[in-house]
Structure 1
Amino acid sequence: MREGIAIHASRVEKTYRLYGSPVDRLIESISIGRPIRHEEIHALKPLSFNIFKGETVGIVGRNGSGKSTLLQIICGTLEPSNGRVEVSGRIGALLELGSGFNPEFTGIENIYMNGSILGLSTREIDARMDDILGFADIGGFVRQPVRTYSSGMVVRLAFSVQACIDPEILVIDEALAVGDEIFQKKCFNRLRELKEKGTSILFVSHSATSIVQHCDRAIMLDQGNVRWIGRPDVTTTLYQRLNNSSERIWSKSLIQLGQRLTKAKLNSRDQYSPSDQEDTDIPERIDNSVFFDQDLRPESYQQYPDNGIKIEKVAIKDSDNLTVNTLPPKKGFTIRFKYSCQKELNDVVFSCHISNQSGVRICGQIYPGTASKQVNFRKGDIFYISFKFEGGLLPGLYFVGGGIRTRKATDFVHRVLDITSLRIINSQDTSLIGLCNMSSGSPLLEMAGGDGKE
């Protein structure tokens, strides 16, 4: 295996044989001529890629695309039907929830068992024990059988063991999705520390935000095939757009992707992005980090009683009119409200606001303005209002709300808070601070004259 590579997969395949009954399996095995009495399921079709030392790679794909099968083969818990996987270094793995733990053993006993499996001596495990217990932070439960743990406690202990043994390769299969937000942040900080030490990290996640923020590259799998390898923002954006498309468009686009990936001459980091000259339905110039994250749902959503008119739906749209909730700074967007009217209302006013996590309203709009003519509605009307915003928000998590009232009344006839989320992701520009960008240019440095006068 070439120097600098942590994982090398060469034409890896995995095929399962499904029999209608045990009798079919017996007949096939003892019959002359071996009549076929099984159906073959191709979980992985020939796929090849490299993971480099010190690199973090994310894997995205629909359920059943082969993600977990691939990780199990890399970890050695599953044998490939064809092809080979070579790894360089000790592997730590979080696969299925609770895998590798004996439910009858205490947390302490499972720590020693897992450490031994990973090749550590009792003395080496003892030296790491305080770090493991401190990171897991499950208190006295560590001396109780694992079967008494909640799913979150199991993840805490499992991640702590794997992350504190300083693995050279760490493989994670959606396990962090079970933990709470504070623990997830703690885990990703630890992953960052491991990466700085040279650990290669491979993890599966349905959170596009996590893939973009923490990965150097991303792989998109579909039906056992590698459909795309490249920058995480491009890969997740492409995956989200295809995932929200019809089955016909999805299938056609994936075929095109597969053909182009096969023809492409990949560079040393297996990067591949579409050529601007190719004729295809797949978006050629994908805006960095613009996508819809299905996991980004506000838990603080509130809806107040309606009185004759109602906010039915709210969506954030990008410049291509695609529904998104994750954007880079300086990217404009539109918040589109859908309303329905149950009775006649006159001189109605609509508002939209954006708040931060502390509930502070950063900005908003009102329609119609105070100088505009009044807007009236009849029973049964369904209509939309689009509020447009420039890209002034700085990286962070924001929430959208809105309200409806009449000019003559002070109370809302309907109101929603935190109905949808908007995440502005980190960028390379670190010259701005705060919540929003109100600057009109770069700071200007002027040196004073020799006499010190301004």
Structure 2
Amino acid sequence: MNDDIAIKVENITKIYKLYEKPIHRLKESLSPFRKKYYREFNALSNVSFELKKGECLGIIGKNGAGKSTVLKIITGVLNPSSGNVIVNGRIAALLELGAGFNGELTGMENIWMQGVILGFDKKYMESLIPEILEFADIGDFVNQPVKSYSSGMLVRLAFAINSCIRPDILIVDEALSVGDFFFVQKCYKKIEEIIESGTSVIFVTHNLNDLLKFCNKAVLLEHGRCVFQGGALETMQKYLAASDNKEEAKKIIEMGNTLDRYIDRENTWIPKDCEIEIPEKNIESMNKVRCIRFGICTEDNKPARIIKQGEKIVFCAEFEVLQDIDIPYFGVSLLDKYGNVVHGKLTLSENMGNLSVCKAGDRLKAKLAIQLDLAQGEYTYEAGLGTIKEKYYRCVDTLTQQELLEYSERTYLMTNLSTFVICENDSGKRRYFHGICNLPSSSEISIEREKNI
């Protein structure tokens, strides 16, 4: 198998023997003529697909299509009736709630047991336990028998173990359908980190938004057969077209073969190649929010490194809310090479719509576009998030600059993020001005000439 292949499934078939009555098993075993008392059920029939390293593969289909059976064969829980599965790397799997747990053991004892099963030494597991406990967040219940856990606590512990051990391959089978809203958000963020780290992921879900959010490609199963393989959107189209949800299918199918544009619009707030790394030393935070991603781009979603005078630059940011906050606003300041602020802008100056206060666990996405009528040269920038109380937000247009500073709070600031260069606009529409910036203006000139008598 090629080194870039994580999992290769080759023509696997799984046949179950179904007996109408338990006594038929005994009759069959004692029959001198090998009489069959069962009928065969093909849970899977010649299913094949590949998962490359670093990819996220979605498996979709209706209940009973064979999704979970495939995963159990890949992980070794079941053996195929025929066919082969080749796995290149260590697998961690979330197949069923509490699968692999011993109900008589405590949560902590089960953590150690899972480490032994996966072949980790004591020292490595000791280093992971604080991270596992923090992520699971089940408190003192970790020292209680697992049989006393609720379904939500089981999935918390199971997900924490399997995500924190940093496997080569992670398999998730509808595990996120249980749990409170905030824990599910935390799981999604963890999955994003796992995918970004290069871990190969197989994601089985009925949530089609998850399919588009995480998966590069997908497999559609029907009655144990692989009926389609392809891009995530295209596979979803096939699934919906065969389902009862005709209206939703029509909407998706009308999108056509536009997977890249769909993902960019719905899930990728910051265009590809436009993201900026944020050094920790350049962050001033009150620990109420955290910037997850930040980037700058041109209006046509290209990296903004060299900008022509008069063109727009778009600042994009995504924040995670850690504590309840007032109504948020996003701000950007542009600085020249001397550190002077040549321009600052807040989203409060724009029409932000009817915003509300934010709760812990919310995600904030902000964009601010600025037209760069600035002198040629190199500039740096800083950006951040502030908050303002709702009663002042409702009348922000009437506030003076001093009142705005008094009633608002700077919650998060990122300084010295990066630089961009403004060059001459050669599009034919010149920007003739002197000084730092081209201020909005209007002009009029007239000539009066004395009439000859």
Is 1:202 matched with 2:202?
yes
Task: Supply the distance in 2 between the matched residues of 1:443 and 1:239 (Cα, whole angstroms).
Answer: 44
Q: 1:10 to 1:283 in 2, by over 3 A?
A: farther
TM-score normalised by the chain length of structure 2: 0.57
Task: Supply the distance in 1 between the matched residues of 2:90 and 2:96 (Cα, whole angstroms).
Answer: 19
Give the CA deviation at 1:283: 7.4
Larger radius of gyration: 2
Q: Which moved more, 1:185-194 or 1:162-171?
A: 185-194
Aligned match of 1:433? 367
Is 1:99 matched with 2:99?
yes
Aligned match of 1:129? 129
Tell me if structure 2 keeps the 8 A contact 1:237–1:286: no
Give the CA deviation at 1:450: 7.3
The one-letter amino acid paired with 2:242 is L
What do the CA deviations read for 1:325-355 (whole angstroms, capped 9, x no partner)?
A: xxxxxxxxxxxxxxxxxxxxxxxxxxxxxxx
Aligned match of 2:35? 35
Q: 1:36 to 1:193 in 2, by over 3 A?
A: same
Q: Which moved more, 1:25-34 or 1:86-95?
A: 25-34
What do the CA deviations read for 1:141-162 (whole angstroms, capped 9, x no partner)?
A: 1111112211111100000001
Give the CA deviation at 1:3: 1.7
Q: 1:218 to 1:445 in 2, by over 3 A?
A: farther
Give the CA deviation at 1:232: 1.3
Aligned match of 1:55? 55
Task: Supply the distance in 2 between the matched residues of 1:245 and 1:136 (Cα, whole angstroms).
Answer: 36
Aligned match of 1:218? 218
Task: Supply the distance in 1 between the matched residues of 2:433 and 2:138 (Cα, whole angstroms).
Answer: 64
TM-score normalised by the chain length of structure 1: 0.57
Tell me if structure 2 keeps the 8 A contact 1:11–1:82: yes
Determine helix, strand or coil for the equivalent of 1:57: strand
Tell me if structure 2 keeps the 8 A contact 1:217–1:232: yes
The one-letter amino acid paired with 1:433 is K
Determine helix, strand or coil for the equivalent of 1:27: helix
Matches within 5 A, 1:9-158: 9-158=9-158
Matches within 5 A, 1:347-358: none
Determine helix, strand or coil for the equivalent of 1:433: strand
Give the CA deviation at 1:241: 3.3
Aligned match of 1:161? 161
Give the CA deviation at 1:33: 3.7
Matches within 5 A, 1:253-272: none
Aligned match of 1:285? 256
The one-letter amino acid paired with 2:238 is L
Is 1:241 matched with 2:241?
yes
Q: Which moved more, 1:176-185 or 1:3-12?
A: 176-185
Task: Supply the distance in 1 between the matched residues of 2:193 and 2:255 (Cα, whole angstroms).
Answer: 35
Determine helix, strand or coil for the equivalent of 1:243: coil
Give the CA deviation at 1:201: 0.6
Task: Supply the distance in 1 between the matched residues of 2:223 and 2:2 (Cα, whole angstroms).
Answer: 29
The one-letter amino acid paired with 2:40 is E
Aligned match of 1:322? none
Task: Supply the distance in 2 between the matched residues of 1:2 and 1:190 (Cα, whole angstroms).
Answer: 28
The one-letter amino acid paired with 1:35 is K
Give the CA deviation at 1:31: 2.7
- Structure 1: any 5+ residue segments left out of the alignment? 251-281, 292-357, 361-397, 399-425
Task: Supply the distance in 1 between the matched residues of 2:21 and 2:186 (Cα, whole angstroms).
Answer: 48
What do the CA deviations read for 1:188-211 (whole angstroms, capped 9, x no partner)?
A: 221222222221111211111111
Tell me if structure 2 keeps the 8 A contact 1:56–1:216: yes
Aligned residues: 280
Q: Which moved more, 1:46-55 or 1:189-198?
A: 189-198
Task: Supply the distance in 2 between the matched residues of 1:62 and 1:180 (Cα, whole angstroms).
Answer: 25
Give the CA deviation at 1:106: 0.8
Determine helix, strand or coil for the equivalent of 1:219: strand
Q: 1:245 to 1:166 in 2, by over 3 A?
A: closer
Aligned match of 1:387? none
Aligned match of 2:334? none
Give the CA deviation at 1:59: 1.1
Q: 1:445 to 1:60 in 2, by over 3 A?
A: farther
Tell me if structure 2 keeps the 8 A contact 1:169–1:201: yes
- Structure 2: any 5+ residue segments left out of the alignment? 264-324, 328-354, 356-363, 375-423, 425-430, 439-453
Give the CA deviation at 1:138: 0.8
Aligned match of 1:374? none
Task: Supply the distance in 1 between the matched residues of 2:434 and 2:20 (Cα, whole angstroms).
Answer: 95
Determine helix, strand or coil for the equivalent of 2:367: coil
What do the CA deviations read for 1:120-158 (whole angstroms, capped 9, x no partner)?
A: 122211111000001111111111111221111110000
Give the CA deviation at 1:243: 1.2
Task: Supply the distance in 1 between the matched residues of 2:432 and 2:78 (Cα, whole angstroms).
Answer: 73
